[in-house]
Structure formats: C-alpha cells, structure tokens
Amino acid sequence: MIKIMKYGEVANDEIFARSVPEVDVAGIVSDIIADVRARGDAALLDYCEKFDHVRLEALEVSPAELDAAIAKVEPEFIDVLETAAANIRAFHEKQVRTSFIIAEKDGMVMGQKVIPLDRVGLYVPGGTAAYPSTVLMDAIPAKIAGCGEIVMVTPPARDGSVNPAILAAAKVAGVSRVFKVGGAQAVAALAYGTDSVPCVDKIVGPGNAFVAEAKKQVFGRVSIDMIAGPSEILVVADGHSNPRQVAADMLSQAEHDKMASAVLVTDSMALAEAVRDEIDRQVKALPRFEIASASIDVNGKIIVADTLDAAIDIANAIAPEHLELCLDNPFDYLDRIRHAGSIFMGRNCPEALGDYLAGPNHTLPTGGTARFYSPLSVDDFVKKSQYTYFTAAALEAVSGKIARFARKEGLEGHARSVLSRFE
C-alpha cells in the first residue's frame, strides 16, 4: 500500500526512487559494444538469439514484411495514429528555427546556418510493452527538422517479427529503415555501424538500464538526447480533486515499470487518504497488476503539505518528468514552475493525454534532469554552423583591438596574423 507522510518526513532528493543496478551494467554494456564493433552483424544476430530467443536470417525489416504487418493493424488504430501524428506535427512545426544573417555594418557579414542532421537513430523499446507512440514522438520532429535518413531499431518477437503497430507508426511517421535489434547491441550498431545497420549522428529514445548505459558510453562518438531513467509522475492536487481520477493518473505511470515513481503532493489529508484507498482498489484491476503494485509499494508516496505553495516548491525541488497540476486555477501557478519535463494543467489533462494524442513530446528528462534538460524537440535533430565575412577595410578598422586582445592573452601569433595583412 502506498505510504502517506507529512512534508519533511522524506528528503526532497528521496521523493523519487533512484534505482541502483544489481549487476555490473556498465561492464556488461562495455563488453557488448566491443563485441559489436569487432564482429558487426554476426554479434547482433548472436545477441538476438541470446536475448530475444530468435535466430534471424536478416536484420532489416523488408518492404514485404512492412506491408504485411501494416495490413494486420485495424483501420481504426491507423486513424488514431494519423490523428496523433497530425497533432504532434502541428506542435513541433512551431519549434523550427531559421538561419539568420547580420549585415548591418559596412564590410561585415555574419550569420548562422541551421543544418539538419544527416542520419538519426531511433531506439524503440520492446520488452514488457511496445510503444508505437514513441515512434511518432521521436520520428516526427526528426522529419520536420529535415534529417536525411531516420533509422529505427527495436527488438524482435520470438517469431522474428516486429509488433505491427510499431511498424504502422513507423510508416505514418516517415521512418526510412527499420532493424530488428534491441538492447545495448542496437545502440552500439547505430553508433559504429555494421554491414547491415548504418551508423548515425544521433541516437534518441528511451530504453532499459542497459540501453541507457550504452547511450552514455557511445556519447562522443555520436550525440544522444538524454540518459532516461524510470518513468515519474508528480501530481499536485488540492482538496477539491477527484480521488478516483488522481489515483488513476498515478497508476498510469506505475504500470510502466516496477522502478517507476508515482507521487501525490496535496494540502488535504482527506484527499490523501481517499487517493490511497482508490489506488489500493484500482491497482487490483489492472492487467499489469504485478508491475504497478510493485511500483506503488516500493516507490509510491503521498505527501501532505501545509499549503499548495509548499507543493509547488516540492515540484521545483525534484524536477519531475511529468507534473500534473490538478488545481482550480492551474495557470495561477504556471509561472512558478521552473523545473518539470511536461506540465499538465487542470483536472481534465491526465498525463496519458500527453503520452498519445495532445501533440507535445513525451520523450522527457527523468531523474531530476529537467533542471537542465528539455523535452525532445526539433532542436535535437539540427546543428548550427556560424560564418563571418569582413572586407579588408572592416578588418583594418578593428585590427589594433584584436592585436591588443591577443597580446593580453599572450598569443603574439594571433596578433601578427591580423596585423600582417596591413604591413
């Protein structure tokens, strides 16, 4: 049963669980990466057999496989995918940055080019659940950014197939190629390339502890979006909130993973007790009862604060992945929220709305990293180059100042490189 405690009984940095691996994840991942670099496709096929229990003939999903899988998906779900994709596009198109040029002074031109990445890799989890929503959330911003190629990796089923809903989402989102490989070995393949899997410039998408560690280890060879941990939700609710709805929202995150954290902060002890009872009742009816109940029992918390202002302070202190403001006037508090991945406003905005259909991205910073990381966006799929042009007259006008600056730093060669042009 979920614990109820008063504010101050648990330290802010302990409100969300921080998992500690029971095995040497870093060492195992390092060995897998080295093996993939050395043996390429052969290593990937061996790991598929070891971890996914299937011996594949080929790693890439063929056009015929793609068409056959999509044909198995009910038209009603394709319509849902199209609706979600349209909303995601509409939101992310507002994020597009443009290049700029400055030519306001005679003889001087400066500017910045915004350039899409050539090729990006999307990791889509398999495991205990398949997430076509992640395909849409990760691929559509890359497509809007103008990336030349979008490569997706996802673990195969035991029959060697890929979940049809995931492939349907890949088709809707504009994914270029799909490969049947998961885990740290998939990350290694994207980072270093094999005969089948092309190397990419950036890897994005959530995964388990081994995937997260692999992304960490290949960073520098490629870019990554973030190191994602278990899912988190913090619900800030006042005494007027519906306990049945609050409990359901918390369980929506608890069912993700046994290490997921679902926390309620409220100024009402009556609501706290009612939500506790609702969680205890509702969790028993969930198909993923074992996962959700473990998450709630180990990591779930209900914290009773003296005021809603104190609840907002807690939110900022722990920087949650998902933050629900189940309040009468949520916009009164929005300006005070400084650290949260995605904020859900009011009583009619469950976090599940953001997971699937609203449009804002659901690939979000976890583990308190919302203090300095942002949700996945179009910005993640572009880079910038800057350029400068000066005429001889423009350079001569500032040459003395450049030389003085260079000599202050003890770099005479810098000074002479400028002054030599006017000797």
Per-residue pLDDT of the chain (423 residues), as tens digits, is 899 999 888 888 788 866 566 689 999 999 999 999 999 999 999 999 999 999 999 999 999 999 999 999 999 999 999 999 999 999 999 999 999 999 989 999 999 999 999 999 999 998 656 899 999 999 999 999 999 999 999 999 999 999 999 999 999 999 999 999 999 999 999 999 999 999 999 999 998 889 999 999 999 999 999 988 889 999 999 999 999 999 999 999 999 989 999 999 999 999 999 999 999 999 999 999 999 999 999 999 999 999 999 999 999 999 999 999 999 899 999 999 999 999 999 999 999 999 999 999 999 999 999 999 999 999 999 999 999 999 999 999 999 999 999 999 999 999 999 999 998
Catalytic residues: 321-322
pTM over 0.85: yes
pLDDT of residue 128: 56
Dihedral sign (CA 311, 316, 321, 323): positive
Identify the pLDDT of residue 127. Answer: 60
Q: Is 270 exposed, middle or buried (0-12, 13-18, 19+ CB in 10 A)?
A: exposed
**pLDDT (0 to 100) of residue 7:** 87
The amino acid occupying position 73 is V
Q: What is the pLDDT of residue 9?
A: 87
Alpha helices in 40-147 (DSSP H): 41-47, 63-71, 75-92, 132-145
Here the tokens at position 307 are 């005021």
Domains plus CATH for the chain? Answer: 25-224 (3.40.50.1980), 230-371 (3.40.50.1980), 392-422 (no CATH)
| Sequential DSSP letters for 319-338 | --SEEEEESSSTHHHHTT--
Phi-psi map region of 358: left, alpha, beta (phi>0 left; psi -120 to 50 alpha): alpha
Do 112 and 146 form a contact (C-beta atoms < 8 A)? no
Decide if 262 contacts 289 (C-beta within 8 A): no
In contact, 158 and 224? CB cutoff 8 Å? no
Q: ∠ CA(190), CA(196), CA(199), 5° rounding?
A: 25
Handedness of CA 345, 348, 350, 353 (dihedral sign): negative
